[in-house]
Amino acid sequence: MIKKFTSAIIFIAFIFSVCVSAAPSPGDSSLCSVVVEAESGDIIFEKNAHERRGPASTTKIMTALVALENSRTDDIVKIDPRAVGTEGSSAYLCAGEKVLLSDLLYAVMLGSANDAAAAIAYHIGGSIEGFAEMMNARAEKLGLSDTHFENPHGLDGESHYTTAYDLAMIAREALKNENFRNIVSTKTKAVKLSDGNVTRVFKNHNRLLFEYDDIIGVKTGFTKKCGRTLVSAAERDGVTVICVTLCDGDDWRDHRKLLSAGLELYERVTLCEKGGEERIVHVCGGEKASVGVCCDEKLSVTLSKPHGKTESVTELPPFVYAGFEKGDTLGFVSYYLDGKPIGRVALVAKEGSAVKLKKKNIFGK
């Protein structure tokens, strides 16, 4: 039996784009920085991108990701007394009050509330240490060997560190989560606190969101030890780039310059439109001798500019046996750039084909 897929796109393997430069960041005043293309993770620009430094409140990107992956946004969180009065930026939570997890996440990602981050940690991890272990496990799953968290809020710690590159990879993963993406792109949010009796409005600390239409987040940070830290992302014409700077006194200007430079180096290319790549396949033992196939999803990839000509290879058998349904996968089209795979799309049947019943003779055979 031919396996039926709900989506024509099976995978996009090894998205390939020529490494643009991996050179020192242009016009960058940070100690460490990196700009990456979000789909492939390719480094566009970098400076000391693998040097370990404190992340300050950009830590909260991982906090939000772990929370969203291990809880529901409509969960009710009873504020643990140990979270109340956490040093630094605060939502001024009260012990025992009940708050939606989603509201705590807005407080964390817009208002950078350390007590809200701690409350999430106690709710999901049982303790600050337990939640930090979850954060470290998630970093390890991403293959990040230069990141270690002690807490969910980013206050300085002896073994609380990451790198510009690792932060970019964490942000890249987090931006795949629709809830996370919606939260960090929100400019202001009214949150119910004190069991719904008090409304507090949090304004996103990311100034770039208010100044440029292509900015989609992500998080600011600062401690005296770390200096100013910033993770931002921009999307234009289907292309997304992520920028990270650590210890940068001119981060707003640097990010705008770096993001714009990165966006100019890539473009979104459509390899197959929905219903495209029409082919005919011969059918054996069916009511019809052949059936049409096509891709039932649009397939697009991000490629660096300039790039070579894309090529496609169709993978279809000489014939298929009847007994399949509309939408069943009968073959594939693979796409290549300079001989490297950049995408693969399933070819699905445009209609089903029942097995042809053999007519009986006068003897019932």
Give me the active site residues, please.
57, 60, 112
Q: Where are the beta strands (DSSP E) in 12-143?
A: 32-37, 43-47, 76-78, 98-100
- DSSP 8-state secondary structure symbol assigned to residue 24: P
Helix (H, G, I), strand (E, B) or coil at 119: helix
Q: Residue 69 and residue 236: Cα distance in Å, rounded?
A: 27
On the CB side of 162, how many CA atoms lie within 13 Å of its CA?
Answer: 36
Query: What phi-psi label fits residue 61: left (phi over 0), alpha (psi between -120 and 50 degrees) or beta?
Result: alpha
Q: How many CB atoms lie within 10 A of CB 314?
A: 12
Query: What phi-psi label fits residue 194: left (phi over 0), alpha (psi between -120 and 50 degrees) or beta?
Result: left
User: For residues 61-98, b (16+ Cβ closer than 10 Å) or e, as one string?
Assistant: bbbbbbbbeebeeeeebebbeebbebebbbbebeeebe
Q: How many CB atoms lie within 10 A of CB 159?
A: 8
Query: What phi-psi label fits residue 339: left (phi over 0), alpha (psi between -120 and 50 degrees) or beta?
Result: left
Rg (CA), the chain: 26
Closest CA to 345 of 14, 4, 8: 8
Per-residue tokens: 239? 């292309």
| Contact call for residues 248 and 30 (beta carbons, < 8 A) | yes
| Residues with Cβ within 8 Å of residue 137, at least 6 apart in sequence | none
Token look-up 């069991």 returns 195
Q: Residue 51 and residue 178: Cα distance in Å, rounded?
A: 30
Helix (H, G, I), strand (E, B) or coil at 123: helix
